[in-house]
Amino acid sequence: MGGTLAYGAPAPVAQAPATAQFYEWDPQAAQNAESSGGNWGTWIFRTLSVLVGTALLVFLSNRIGRSFFEGAASQIRTQAGMAVVWGVVSLLAMPFMLGLLPFLGFVFFGVPVAIMIWAFLMLIWFVFWVFSPLITGRTLGSLLEGALPGEQVAWPKILVGVVIVVLAARLVFLPSGAGLPDLVRGILSAVGAVVIVLSYILAVGGWVQTWGRGGRQAA
In a domain, 96, yes or no: yes
In a domain, 140, yes or no: yes
DSSP string, 94-153: HHHHHHHHHHHHHHHH-HHHHHHHHHHHHHHHHHHHHHHHHHHHHHHHHHHHTPPTT---
- Nearest alpha carbon to residue 145 among 163, 131, 159, 133: 159
The pLDDT assigned to 215 comes to 43
The pLDDT assigned to 85 comes to 92
The pLDDT assigned to 131 comes to 85
Give, in order, the Cα–Cα distances in Å from 14 to each of 8, 17, 19: 18, 9, 15
Which amino acid appears at position 210 of this protein? T
Check: CB of residue 195 under 8 Å from CB of residue 163: no
In a domain, 179, yes or no: yes
pTM attached to this predicted model: 0.71
Degrees to nearest 5, angle at CA 90 with 105 and 86: 140
Check: CB of residue 166 under 8 Å from CB of residue 54: yes
| 14 burial via Cβ count (<10 Å: 0-12, 13-18, 19+) | exposed
In a domain, 14, yes or no: no
**pLDDT less than 50: residues of the chain:** 7, 20, 22-23, 30, 33-35, 215-219
In a domain, 143, yes or no: yes
Judged by DSSP in three states, 93 sits in helix
In a domain, 216, yes or no: no
Check: CB of residue 207 under 8 Å from CB of residue 72: yes
In a domain, 199, yes or no: yes
In a domain, 150, yes or no: yes
Number of compact structural domains in the chain: 1
pLDDT one-digit tens code per residue, 164-183: 999 999 988 888 765 678 88
Alpha carbon distance 153, 61 (integer Å): 13
Alpha carbon distance 38, 43 (integer Å): 9
The pLDDT assigned to 115 comes to 92
Q: How many helices (H) and strands (E) does the chain have?
A: 6, 0
Alpha carbon distance 116, 108 (integer Å): 13
- What is the domain extent for residue 182? 36-211
